[in-house]
Amino acid sequence: MGVMTRHEIDPATLAPGGVYKLVNACVVPRAIAWVSSRSADGVDNLAPHSYFTVVSVDPPMIAFTSVGWKDSAANIDATGEFVVNMAAGGFEDDINATSTDFPAGISEFDAVGIEREPSRRVIPPRVAQSPVALECRKVDITPIGNCHLVIGEVLHVAIDEATSEPDPVTQRHPRPDAIHPLARLGRNEWAHFGTTFDLKRVPYRKWLEKQSSRGE
Ligand SMILES: Cc1cc2nc3c(=O)[nH]c(=O)nc-3n(C[C@H](O)[C@H](O)[C@H](O)COP(=O)(O)O)c2cc1C
């Protein structure tokens, strides 16, 4: 195999904003949390966040990053609740439209025409057409760099039956091949769902067995 010729980049040599764009393009694909929240004044907010992941197993916690201090972070800070709706294929334009910087008094649900559905455990509504909703209670909002890390405990999970299948452990397994979860890449790039494959983790004991059967 040939030796790779690498371009080495010192972040300090990039124009302001350049590092951000570079790192964005390097950490891909990112799942998109379509976050619904309600302001203290009762305005329902909806915005996509791709700086998003699971951060604790027990209790189950997820987190997303607000770059700066946006309406979603402010609402969650004020009311202590939010919902992460899964960004499913087919909703690209709606999701993108809810990233428009509407003034705080305007609900993206109404401006974009997204149907609400009541949540079970929290006040902010779910997106009716999203196949997965994670209802969350704020655990913490931590300032980090020029951003805010919003951490929430998952209190309730709502799964669409048509795009999921029974599972002996989780009750329902959302089927990626039916949901086509969207992902965000760098620049203005988004990604559609590809293919899935199963790969079991190898315990060390099995690893050793494999090595010895090879006579190594
Ligand atoms: C696919 C996608 C992913 C985004 N991810 C983030 C993110 O992780 N953090 C962030 O602060 N903004 C992100 N944005 C931009 C916000 O959605 C946008 O600033 C929005 O207006 C914020 O809404 P809010 O002020 O109602 O909270 C993303 C936009 C898109 C289209």
For residues 99, 101, 103, 108, the Cα torsion angle rounded to the nearest 10 degrees is -20
pLDDT at residue 24 greater than cutoff 70: yes
pLDDT given for residue 214 in this prediction: 83
- Across the chain, mean pLDDT equals 97
Confidence (pLDDT) at 167: 98
Tokens 């027990």: give the residue: 58
Q: What is the pTM of this model?
A: 0.96
- Cα 207 to ligand 1 centre (Å): 43
Q: What is the average per-residue pLDDT within 83-91?
A: 98
Structural domains of the chain sorted by starting position, each given as residue range(s) with its CATH number in brackets: 11-215 (2.30.110.10)
Average pLDDT over residues 46-55: 98
Could you tell which of 35, 62, 83, 99 is best to mutate to test the pocket of ligand 1, judged by most ligand atoms within 8 Å of the CB? 99
pLDDT in tens, 155-189: 999 999 999 999 999 999 999 999 999 999 999 99
CA of 202 to the centre of ligand 1 (A): 38
User: Which of residues 49 and 16 earns the better pLDDT score?
Assistant: 49
Taking only the tens place, the pLDDT of each residue in 98-155 is 999 999 899 999 999 999 999 999 999 999 999 999 999 999 999 999 999 999 999 9
Structure tokens at 188: 């203005």
The mean pLDDT value for 82-107 works out to 97
Task: Tell whether ligand 1 has an atom less than 6 A from the beta carbon of residue 65.
Answer: yes
The best mutation among 27, 53, 70 to test binding of ligand 1, ranked by most ligand atoms within 8 Å of the C-beta, falls on 70
What pLDDT shows up at residue 216? 59
